[in-house]
Amino acid sequence: MSDHSDSPAPDATEFSVKGLNCQSCVRKATAALEAVPGLASVVVSLEEERAIVRWRPDVKPSAYTIIRALQTAGYEAEPIRNSQLTTRNSPWSPLTGWQFNVVFGGAVTLLLMLGEWAFGLGMETWFQWAAFALALPVQAVCGARFYVGAWRQLRVGSSNMDTLVSLGSTTAFGFSAWALFTGWHGHLWFMEAAAIITLISVGHWLEARMSAHAASSLKALLNLAPATAHRLDTSGAEDEVPVAQLRVDDRIALRPGDRVPVDAEILEGQSAVDEAMLTGESLPVEKSAGAKLYGGTVNQNGRLIARVTATGDTTALAQIIAVVQRAQASRANIQQLGDRVSAVFVPSVVLIALGTGLWWWLAYESALRVATTLLPWLKPEHFPASPLAAAFIHAAGVLIVACPCAMGLATPAAIMAGVNAAARRGILIRDGAALEKSGRITAVLFDKTGTLTEGKLTVAAVQEVNVSAMSIRELAAALAEPSNHPLSRAVAMADSHRPSLQDWREVRGAGVAATSEGAICRLGSLRWLNEVGVNGVGHPFATEWTSQGATVLGLARGAELLALFALRDQLKPHVADVLAELQRDGKAVFLITGDHAQTAAAIAALAGVPKENVFAEVRPEQKADIVKQLQARGQRVAFVGDGINDAPALTQADLGIAVTRASDVAREAADLILLQSDIQAIPEALGLAQATLRTIKQNLFWAFFYNAAAVPLAALGLLSPVVCAAAMGLSDVLVICNALRLRAWRQR
Tell me which CATH code domain 12-80 carries: 3.30.70.100
The answer on pLDDT for 5 being more than 60 is: no
**Tens digits of per-residue pLDDT, 637-678?**
999 987 556 778 888 888 888 886 644 554 556 788 887 767
Instruction: Verify whether residue 447 is a known catalytic residue.
Output: yes
Q: Distance from first CA to last CA of the chain, Å, rounded?
A: 57
Strand partners, 50: 16, 45
DSSP assignment of 337-394: HHHHHHHHHHHHHHHHHHHHHHHHHHSHHHHHHHHHHHSTT--GGGS-SSHHHHHHHH
Q: For position 337, what pLDDT does the model report?
A: 60
| CB distance 648 to 623 below 8 Å | yes
Which H, E and C letters describe 45-76, residue by residue?
ECCCCEEEEEECCCCCCCHHHHHHHHHHCCCE
In whole angstroms, what is the distance from residue 256 CA to residue 301 CA? 5
Candidates 447, 569, 642, 732; catalytic one: 447
Q: Where are the domains of the chain?
A: 12-80, 227-314, 427-454+571-690, 458-568
AA letter at 359:
W
- Residue 162 pLDDT more than 80? yes
Closest CA to 109 of 139, 68, 147: 139
**6 pLDDT exceeds 60?**
no
Structure confidence at residue 114 (pLDDT): 93
Average confidence (pLDDT) over 305-315? 87
pLDDT reported for residue 471: 73
* Per-range mean pLDDT, top range of 30-39, 213-222, 445-454: 30-39
Q: Does the pLDDT at position 489 exceed 70?
A: yes
pLDDT of residue 499: 72
Mean pLDDT of the chain: 82
150 or 497, which is more confident: 150
Q: Give residue-wise pLDDT tens across range 272-299.
A: 898 866 665 656 888 999 999 988 888 9
DSSP label at 643? S
Q: Give pLDDT, residue 498.
A: 64
How do the residues of the chain divide into helix, strand and coil, expressed in percent and rounded to 5? Answer: 50, 20, 30
The strand pair at 511-516 and 502-507 is best described as: antiparallel
Nearest to 113 by CA among 533, 647, 725: 725
- Residue 7: pLDDT band by 50, 70, 90 thresholds? very low
Residue 491: its pLDDT value, please?
A: 83
Nearest C-alpha neighbor of 562 from the set 461, 467, 462, 479: 467
pLDDT at 326: 65
**458-568 to CATH, choices 3.20.10.10, 3.40.190.10, 2.102.10.10, 3.40.1110.10:** 3.40.1110.10
Please state the separation of Cα 155 from the chain's center in Å: 33
Q: Which residue has the higher pLDDT, 232 or 404?
A: 232
CA distance 106 to 100: 9
The per-residue pLDDT for 341 is 67
DSSP per-residue letters across 88-114: --PPP-TTSTTHHIIIIIHHHHHHHHI
pTM above 0.85, yes or no: no
Mean pLDDT of 259-275: 91
For the cut 80, the answer to whether the pLDDT of residue 598 exceeds it is: no
What is residue 243's three-state secondary structure? helix
Angle subtended at Cα 284 by Cα 280 and Cα 286, rounded to the nearest 5 degrees: 130
| Mean pLDDT calculated for residue range 75-97 | 61
The CATH number of domain 227-314 is 2.70.150.10: yes
Share of the chain above pLDDT 90, in %: 23
Residue 173 phi, psi (nearest 5): -70, -45
Residue 31 pLDDT greater than 80, yes or no: yes
- What pLDDT digit, counting tens, does each position of 334-366 carry? 656 666 666 677 888 889 999 999 999 999 999
**C-alpha pair distances (Å), 15 with each of 53, 259, 274:** 8, 29, 35
Q: Is 220 helix (H, G, I), strand (E, B) or coil?
A: helix
d(CA 742, CA 732): 17
Quick one: pLDDT band at residue 69, thresholds 50, 70, 90? Answer: very high
At 220 the pLDDT is: 63
- Beta-carbon contacts of 694 under 8 Å, excluding residues fewer than 6 positions away, are 439
The pLDDT of residue 342? 62
How does DSSP classify residue 561?
A: E
Q: Which CATH architecture has domain 427-454+571-690?
A: 3-Layer(aba) Sandwich (3.40)
CA distance 507 to 186: 92
Amino acid at 549: G
Specify whether the CB–CB gap between 346 and 154 falls below 8 A. no
Least confident of 71-75, 88-92, 113-117, 587-591: 88-92
Same topology for domains 12-80 and 227-314, yes or no?
no
Residue 664 is predicted with a pLDDT of 58
Q: Which of 160-164, 234-238, 260-264, 569-573 has the highest mean pLDDT?
A: 260-264
User: How does 418-441 read in b/e, with b if 16+ C-beta sit within 10 Å?
Assistant: bbbbbbebbbbbbbbbbbbbbbeb
Return the percentage of the chain with pLDDT > 70, whole number.
85
pLDDT score recorded for residue 9: 36
Residue 580 CA to residue 359 CA, distance in Å, equals: 64
Residue-wise pLDDT for 355-403, tens only, equals 999 999 999 999 988 888 887 776 665 678 789 889 998 998 898 888 6
What would the pLDDT profile of 515-560 be if each residue is shown by its tens digit? 988 889 999 989 899 999 998 888 889 888 887 778 889 999 888 8
Three-class DSSP category at 26: helix
Beta strands 263-268 and 304-310: pairing type?
A: antiparallel
Res 577: pLDDT:
92
The string of pLDDT tens digits covering residues 180-211 is 999 887 778 898 888 888 878 887 787 677 66
Q: Does 423 have pLDDT greater than 70?
A: yes
Q: Which residues lie closer than 8 Å to 567 by C-beta, 6 or more apart?
A: 457, 458, 459, 460, 487, 490, 491, 550, 551, 552, 553
Amino acid letter, residue 589: V
Rounded Cα–Cα distance for residues 657 and 636 (Å): 13
Q: pLDDT category, 582, cuts 50, 70, 90?
A: very high
